[in-house]
Structure 1
Amino acid sequence: MKIAFVTGCLEPGRDGVGDYVRTLAAECTARGHAVRLLSLADTVDLSADGGTPPTRRQTLAATCDDDGRGARAWLDEFRPDWTSLHFVPYAFHPRGLFAGRLPPLRRVLAAGARRHVFFHEIWIGFARGAPWKERAFGFLQRRALARLLHTTAPTAVHTSNGCYRRALAGLGCAASELPMFGSVPLRPGVVPAALPGVGADALVCGMFGAVHPNWEHEPFLSDFAQLAAARGRRAVLAAAGSLRQGEVLFPQLAAHWRGRIDCLALGLHPPAQLAEFFARFDFAVTTSPFHLVGKSSSAAALREHGLRVVVTNSGQPPRFAATPEDLAPADAGFLPYFRARESLPQALERTPPRPGASRTAEMFLAALAAHD
């Protein structure tokens, strides 16, 4: 197959969806498929970077100035069987109000004989009790997304979690779930890292990626400290990667739990080093809400390395689901601690490591091939 991947930004390391698209495209290429990469709201204008696979990056201003004609002409040269849009509303407008960007999107997507859309994000404001302003913006985003579906008529639609899948069903869109993958490849025979100041017998709970600044760490950290003490081990909370807004929270946690839990910020490291950290972790915790944990590439990376991931945040259920459990992730390796605190010891039971990107690519290609 010939697949043209379209997204907002493709600058490496700057945009999570762009990194996802690059990895997915590489997996497709490795399986003998021809690909092109196109970004429509990037930080630079590069008509073609001369690399492999062929890539064109352009700013949103450039896309809108010619109504997508230049990008469409570049894709027409390729004559793709599929155009695959990886969509986030905020890529095309700072508040996600992308209705004015629909004409160039429609023109670009029409380059493919068939169209595919992966909704990495949908609209905001669907949670019960959401503020009126959030609901108002969400209403406009939802209406624009419905128009996107109507005007592009995609043959196949994917998203990463049951919450978004059910929300899209409310628009008459029968989306399928495609599992998110992480950015830390498996390393056969990896040797666990020696964490700074941490003994070999310590019980280590890992975190990876952004930490929500309003994370309610109680009663989880109390239960974690008790779990370690019951086993005669020192409790360590080790955070790898960029904490983002959690940069302020983590020092506060260290001060609050001094003497009971050692809090260690490991910082940014290349994937090979992260794999060694993951091998040292005994289990992990995420601050993502339970019904949206499926869209977290950080949580996916931890699961791919065989770590059980504790979910402490039930989240505010959307209006179209009775409880968060109605939208539970398909992966049973996510432990709903918020529902049963006594389940925490189960987090120490590792699962077999599994490939992430390769498995998702095979599912993606099979879904497209089913429409041939």
Structure 2
Amino acid sequence: MRIVFVCGSLEPGKDGVGDYVRKLSKELIKNGHQIWALALNDPFISYTFQSLIPLGNGEPLELRLPADLPAKEKVAKASSFVCSIDPDFMSLQFVPFSFHHKGLPYQLSGLLKQFGKDRKWHIMFHELWIGMDRQSHMKHQLLGMIQRQLIKGLLRKLNPVLVHTHCSVYLHELKKLTDIAQRLPLFSNIPVLDPYRVSQKMKQDYTLSDELSIVLFGGIHSGTPIKAFAAEAADYAKRNQKNLKLIVAGRNGPELGDVVKDWEQAGLPAIILGELDNNQLSKLLTELCFGLFTTPVLLAEKSGAVAAMMAHGIHLICVAREWQPFGPVQKQNPLHIPVYEIGKLAQFFQTQPDFSKNVSVRSVSEQFIANLSNAESYG
């Protein structure tokens, strides 16, 4: 197949969706497909960049358009790029904030319609709208209503042959807008450097470990009950004579200071590593057994940090604020990850992890092509 992926940015290591596009593209290219990538709103460059020859590492040819480029010029450059390729499919990798700094990409559907006219479209919704949960602020709920309408208009204008999303909660919402939505699992963007060692770690008995180093990788959400978790963790370590510390890696956001403070006030050490490259991160995650994340468990399926830690054999626990969507929930815990409750932390350390939900880029790419082929047959 000839496929053009369209996303916001393709800056390596700076944009999760861009990294996703690169990794999926490399797998598809390896399997004989012809892939191109178009960054339509890239804030990391100040000029138009186009690769003219393959880079030699299996990555797709790409066109990157700076965020401040006028819409008319974006259409002209993107049209020329797409016409020269004549793809079988255009694949939009959608996150509202990738195409507009306030998450309101009013012009997006019009731009896509202009340079992708009469093309077969696929849309992957990495994100939908904010304010989807009962606990969200009214301001977010109102903004989310506008974002939902924009998504509804996007579906109407592009008339895609196939729609994907990673998350079961999002799939439930998308099915209210279209009958062609399907779930495509999320793979890890972080390559596993030592698959054998990770596979051996997954077979060991996690309950026997005396070193309870807990890794927190990625963004930290507000409202996380870290203070209660840290106090209970300290008590568990003392009663069971375990060495316990927190290791924080990645881009964590403004909540990091409060998390470290709560952890240290509980009498436990915290090590802040900051951003690591993929090799450093893979080595770290391979060494450790336990981890936590602060994304609500209903949204864990769309978390790149969760996917990366699971791929490296990390026994995870969700430590997050309450997040309950307005609509009914069909799958309360789709990845079967333990959720922290006060007084029940010991159960986490005394149970074996479930890695049955792990997926690979290979399996995802195979499903992606199979779903597209089926859509093409019936489209």
Normalised-by-shorter TM-score class: 0.7 to 0.9
Answer whether contact 1:253 1:263 (CA < 8 A) is retained: no
Gaps of 5+ in 1: 193-199
Once the 2 structures are TM-superposed, how far is the Cα of residue 327 of structure 1 from its aligned partner?
3.7
User: 2:104 and 2:222 mapped to 1: Cα distance?
Assistant: 26
Q: Is the 8 Å Cα contact of residues 221 and 320 (structure 2) preserved in structure 1?
A: no
Counterpart in the other structure of 2:344: 341
Alignment pair present for 1:157 and 2:166 = no
Q: How has the CA–CA distance of structure 1 residues 212 and 185 changed in structure 2, closer, same or farther, with 3 Å as cutoff?
A: same
Q: Cα RMSD between the aligned structures? A: 2.5
- 1:195 equivalent in structure 2: none
TM-score by length of 2: 0.86
Q: Percent identity?
A: 28
Are the counterparts in 2 of residues 162 and 328 from structure 1 also a CA contact under 8 Å? no
> Match for 2:226: what amino acid?
H
Residue number in structure 1 paired with 2:266: 257
2:249 matched to 1:222? no
- Contact 1:64 1:101 (C-alpha < 8 Å) held by counterparts: no
Matched-pair contact (CA < 8 Å) for 2:316–2:353: no
Counterpart contact for 1:88–1:120, Cα < 8 Å:
yes
Is 1:70 paired with 2:77? yes
**Which residue number in structure 1 is paired with residue 183 of structure 2?**
177
Is 1:48 the counterpart of 2:55? The answer is no
Matched with 1:98 is 105
> TM-score normalised to the size of structure 1?
0.87
User: Alignment partner of 1:171: what SS?
Assistant: coil
* Letter in structure 1 aligned against 2:162: A
- Residue by residue, what CA displacement relative to the aligned partner does 1:282-339 show, whole Å, maximum 9, x if unpaired? 21110101111111100110111122210122532111126xxx4434322x212349
The residue number in structure 2 matching 1:315 is 322
Note if 1:369 corresponds to 2:373.
yes
- Kindly state the Cα deviation for residue 63 of structure 1 after the two structures are TM-superposed: 5.7
Query: Which residue matches 2:22?
Result: 22
- Select between 159-168 and 334-343 the one with higher mean Cα deviation: 334-343
- Partners of 2:342 and 2:301 lie apart in 1 by 18
User: Which has the larger displacement, 286-295 or 265-274?
Assistant: 265-274
Q: Is the contact between residue 2 and residue 89 of structure 2 (CA under 8 Å) also seen in structure 1?
A: yes
Unaligned runs of 5+ in 2: 55-59, 201-208
Asked if the contact 2:227/2:263 (under 8 Å) is kept, the reply is: no
Identify if the C-alpha distance between structure 1 residues 229 and 51 changes in structure 2 by more than 3 Å, giving closer, same or farther: farther
Q: Which amino acid aligns with 1:140?
A: I
Q: Offset of 1:185 from its aligned partner?
A: 1.3
Deviation at 1:246, TM superposition (A): 3.1
Q: How many residues align structurally?
A: 358
Residue 350 of structure 1 deviates from its aligned partner by 6.5
**Where does 1:1-372 land on structure 2 (aligned, <5 Å)?**
1-43=1-43, 44=45, 45-52=47-54, 53-62=60-69, 64-66=71-73, 68-110=75-117, 112=119, 114-186=120-192, 187-190=194-197, 201-258=210-267, 261-313=268-320, 315-321=322-328, 326-332=330-336, 334-338=337-341, 341=344, 343-346=347-350, 348-349=352-353, 351=355, 356-372=360-376
How far 1:55 sits from its partner (Å)?
A: 0.6
